[in-house]
Structure 1
Amino acid sequence: MSKVVASIMCADQLNLAQELTDLTDAGIDWLHCDVMDGVFVNNLAMGPYVLGPIIQTKRFTTDVHLACVNPEKYVEMFAAVKPDYITFHIETTNDPQGVIDQIHQAGIKAGIAVSPETPVESIFPYLAQLELVLMMTVNPGFAGQVFQTAVLDKIKRLNQELAGNSKRPLIEVDGNINCETSGAISQLGADLYVVGTSALFNNQLGTYRDKVLALEEVIQ
């Protein structure tokens, strides 16, 4: 069953407690938690001191997305707050196997993220050891970018590679995910649809529940 996942970076940071309540009321039970170092991407977000209390509520399944160089350092840092998943970028390390092992040794599920310009084949050697693959449909770093349709072919290629595998990681998509773009993705196959500014945390009419229901109708 496909799920709508909220990008908590895009929520109202001055009212996070209320935002979490509103997301729960809307039927959201997964959070995508962006961590950015200002090096791999030209932006900063979100520290363990912010994400720790959110994770510790146990109200959500949490995926910490490390858009950071030296992911080993950040795995150690965020493993302490016990998210369900830690996802790192294949582009940020020369030792993906070592990072996967580090995440698993901390008792956390491992994911690899792939930026739009990176060949999806680069992660194929690791698929059997992953619980999640994050396909970025925009360049990581900022919300509100244009959806890169070329990534659709990469999602198709990934699903072809996974066909018949005894172990299949969840496929998560992130980047200007809305009713239009998620419709194209759902035809190829994805499990988790990360939504942020464009489809959920905006000033358009409708409650969070209205927006989630509209997305769920498209992706199911």
Structure 2
Amino acid sequence: MIKLAPSILAADFARLLEDVKKVENAGCEYLHIDVMDGHFVPNITLGPAIVKSLRKDVGMVFDAHLMIENPDNYIKEFVDAGCDLIVVHEEACRHLHRTIQNIKSYKVKAGVALNPATPVETIKHILKDLDMVLIMTVNPGFGGQSFIESMIPKIEELKNMIESQNLNVDIQVDGGIKPENVDKVVKAGANVIVAGSAIFNSDNINETIKQFRKNADL
């Protein structure tokens, strides 16, 4: 059974809570919070204050995807704002193991994101410390990009690595996922699906979410 994580990058920021409540009421389990600093990725989004303001009215799992440099400096702020899961980029962490332990010290879940060009092999030795791995299926920074097909074998490789170590680690995918291609990533091993434009920009959010689940039900 997949979990859906609508990405608020595609929501209407003038009606952010209203949009978030729509996906919560439609049964989505996670809220994917895209945090960008304009340095690690060429875009700037939001900070802990907005997360904290949403937390009061939203019961979904808050999944913070930190696309930022020096993430260790901000982990506590996002935890204090109400995030349940903190995901950092392998490429942004000089001492990745230490950063994961830092996240865990706050009693929240920890994940690592891999950009399209970053091999799965880079996290082989810390996989047992993770709750989730996020495979980017676009280059991070902007919503609405096209899915990179060559990421399918990468998801399969990660799935095999998790199984070979007999671990319980979620595989999240983010970037260009739509009802038309969700079956491919689920078949490859993904179980947490991030979708932004496909959900928030659809004419009928409830129907789109139903379609995602139907198409992912292999």
2:162 maps to 162
Choose which of 205, 208, 214 in structure 2 pairs with 1:208.
205
Which digits, 9 at most, give the CA deviation of each residue in 1:191-210, with x for residues without a partner?
A: 1110111x1111x43x2110
C-alpha contact (below 8 Å) 1:69/1:92 kept by paired residues: yes
Tell me if structure 1 keeps the 8 A contact 2:33–2:62.
yes
8 Å CA contact retained: 2:9, 2:143 = no
- Alpha-carbon separation, structure 1, partners of 2:133 and 2:208: 25
Normalization by structure 1: what TM-score? 0.94
Tell me the CA shift for residue 34 of structure 1: 0.6
Q: CA deviation at 1:57?
A: 3.0
Helix, strand or coil for the counterpart of 1:34?
A: strand
With structure 2 as the length reference, what TM-score do the two structures score? 0.95
Bigger drift between 136-145 and 19-28 goes to 19-28
Q: Is the 8 A contact 1:170 1:192 kept in 2?
A: yes
> Is structure 2 residue 190 aligned with structure 1 residue 190?
yes
CA contact (8 A) 1:67 1:89 kept: yes
- Supply the AA of the counterpart residue of 2:110: A
CA distance in 1, matches of 2:125, 2:12: 39
For structure 1, list consecutive stretches of 5 or more residues without a partner in the other structure: none
Deviation at 1:18, TM superposition (A): 1.4
Report the Cα distance in structure 2 between the residues aligned to 1:125 and 1:186, rounded to whole angstroms: 24
Residue ranges of structure 2 left out of the alignment (5+ in a row): none
3-state SS of paired residue (2:81): coil
Structure 1 residues 53-62 or 1-10, which shifts more?
53-62
Q: Please, which moves more after superposition, 182-191 or 104-113?
A: 182-191
**What is the rounded CA distance, in whole Å, between the counterparts of 2:159 and 2:166 in structure 1?**
13
Identity of aligned residues (%): 34
The residue aligned with 2:34 is 34
Aligned-partner SS, 1:190: coil
Paired residue secondary structure (1:116):
coil
Letter in 1 for 2:210: L
Aligned residues: 217
Matched, 1:69 2:75: no
Q: Give 1:152 deviation, angstroms.
A: 0.7
1:21, distance to aligned residue in structure 2 (A): 2.2
Distance 2:9 2:144 in 1: 12
SS at match of 2:190: coil
The 10-residue stretch of structure 1 (165-174 or 31-40) with the greater mean CA deviation from structure 2: 165-174
1:164 Cα deviation (Å)?
Answer: 4.4
Shift of 1:25: 2.3
Show the 5 A alignment for 1:71-150. 71-150=71-150
Is the CA contact 1:9–1:46 (under 8 Å) kept in the aligned structure 2? no
Q: Which runs of 4+ in 1 moved over 2 A?
A: 55-58, 164-167
Q: Aligned in 2, Cα 1:24/1:79: closer, same or farther, shift over 3 Å?
A: closer
Contact 2:24 2:58 in 1 (8 A): no
| 1:74-96 Cα distance to aligned partner (Å, 9 max, x none) | 21321221311000000011100
CA distance in 2, matches of 1:110, 1:178: 26
Measure the CA separation in 1 of the matches of 2:114 and 2:186: 18
Asked whether the 8 Å contact 2:21–2:58 carries over to 1, the reply is no
CA distance in 1, matches of 2:81, 2:126: 25
Q: Structure 1 stretch 47-56 or stretch 210-219: which is displaced more?
A: 47-56
The letter of the residue matching 1:141 is G
